[in-house]
Amino acid sequence: MPYDFTTLHRNCLVEQVAPLQGNVTGTLPPWLRGTYLLDGPGRMTFGESEFNHVFDGSALMQKFTLGENGATFSSRFLRSYAYTTNLENEQIVVSEFGTTGKSLSKSKLGKLGEKLTFDKLFSDNAPVGVVVFGGEYYCITEAPFLHKIDPSTLETLSKVDLHKELGINSQCPNPKLLSDGTVINVLHGVGATGPKYDIVAFPKKPMEGKASVFSKPKKVGSVDARWKLNPCHMHTFGLTENYVVLLEQPLTIDVKATVTNTIRDKPFIGGMEWMENKLVKIHLVNRETDGYHVLFTSVLHLQERGATLGSELDGGCVKRVVVPLNVPEKAVPEENLVKLAGSRAKAQRQKDGSLLLTPDAITKFAYEVPSLNPEHAGRRYRYFYGNSGNMTVHGGKVGKVDIDSREVKEWYEEGMYASVTAFVPRPGATAEDDGVLLLAALHSDDTKKATLLVLDAADMKEMGRVEFVTSSDVARALHGLFIPE
């Protein structure tokens, strides 16, 4: 069966406020108790108007709660300004990434003023993920807004505007939560020399005299954007015990085009610019010394685009880059500095002192929206889990990738599509993959059905599942987290 792309833009119109009891089959581990909280675009229409892009849909929180008596499902829309205003006006009035909202101003000047007001320029719809700051839960997006939510009722409590608070224009929607409660994130702003990426650490508790954890984060480091009028789009970043790893991809935001598009009522997506034939630039920022350690450029080339959508989406695979930290000054470009056992990656010192990195392809296909054992976040890990990018053979495969052996174990079932996965370690486990993989899935043949699958993460075999039949379309979530009881 070909990939069912309609599973990407389901239109949920009715939220499930009262928890719905699911039907359990198989065996759920008795230790598995807690909440699997998800966020993603849920509502695609208001009145007659429809969003153009899958990322534009109004944020819908979904929640699976695992307890003594099986599992429940509930969902609620995030009460952003964008959602409530669209709802009130029964049409799309707030512009999103790929959709221009209909202006409510009658005069031309009013329309222009409305467009150029920062909090109108960027929607506060936050369908990217649920994250933790200061022990509290927030829905996040790339625009500089966060919405505090109550994970038990899914109510929207308050809004944080990081443009007002810190003067930034956008943020990475995948901040990293450390075991001590600190959160590291990358914020995008403009400095004296142009666009920059600031790496900051938000404390677990507000600093003395500060109102919130967002008031004055500690600066870890700062990197100037490589193209002055084109800061790059940075959805995520890497973290090790010693370094923050920034990837400046050739996918950029053309600042001039974005402003022009806004004035001309064209959506933000038109301002994205791919820098043809440019390499990915990797920055390693030392977490202790507040500065660069090394600066590299690597070859991460994409395969040629195929003629069909399916093959275009199959363009990626899992690649591992190895960065040698001690580079002898006498190294010649012909010498491969990667000495890591089993790796086919290359690192070659160029004449200008930079390193040219050639990645090692680990798998045949990409594995998207990766998850891993949270105890290995920011540390060495061997396994990760993700949705297969192979969309030509079957729709909803989920793979477990072993970085060391290059082995991939896959789960799939005809007609089922995984939204996203979460690894939950078994209490007392010592092996990295001793635990379960939670998989929120939806169905190609029944738009109102949601299934929570529990797989044994060691062999990717199903242990049990909980099925729910809801009253409206079940939307595909983008990112989520598991909160143990």
Q: What is the DSSP string of 212-239?
A: STTSSPEEEEEEE-SSTT-PBP-S--EE
Report d(CA 314, CA 164) in Å as an integer: 40
Q: Which tokens is 151 given?
A: 């994970």
Q: What is the DSSP string of 142-183?
A: SSSEEEEE-TTT--EEEEEEHHHHH--SEE-S--EE-TTS-E
Q: Which tokens is 229 given?
A: 């009028």
Residue from 82, 81, 43 nearest 61 by CA: 43
**Number of residues assigned to the chain:** 485
Residue from 150, 158, 152, 99 nearest 123 by CA: 99
- Per-state percent for the chain, helix, strand, coil, to nearest 5: 10, 40, 50
Half-sphere exposure of 360 (CA within 13 A, CB side): 18
Q: Which tokens is 436 given?
A: 């379960």
DSSP letter for 344, please: -
Distances (CA, A) of 103 to 94, 113, 262, 390, 459: 8, 11, 12, 40, 53
Do the annotations mark residue 235 as ligand-binding?
yes
Cβ(406)–Cβ(363) under 8 Å?
Answer: yes
Report how far Cα 328 is from the mean position of its chain's Cα atoms: 37
Which single residue is written with the structure tokens 């043809």? 276
Q: Which tokens is 125 given?
A: 């719809």
- 396-405 contacts at long range (C-beta below 8 A, 24 or more positions apart): 396/441, 398/437, 398/439, 398/455, 398/460, 399/363, 399/365, 399/367, 400/433, 400/437, 400/457, 400/460, 401/318, 401/362, 401/363, 401/367, 403/320, 403/362, 404/342
Backbone phi, then psi, for 163, in 5-degree steps?
A: -70, -45
Q: Which amino acid, 61?
A: M
Report how far Cα 386 is from the mean position of its chain's Cα atoms: 12
Tell me whether residue 167 is exposed, middle or buried, using C-beta atoms within 10 angstroms of its C-beta: 0 to 12, 13 to 18, 19 or more: exposed
Distances (CA, A) of 194 to 101, 228, 235, 295: 30, 6, 20, 19
Q: Which amino acid, 189?
A: G
Do the annotations mark residue 233 as ligand-binding?
no
| Annotated binding residues | 235, 479
| Annotated binding residues for Fe cation | 235, 479
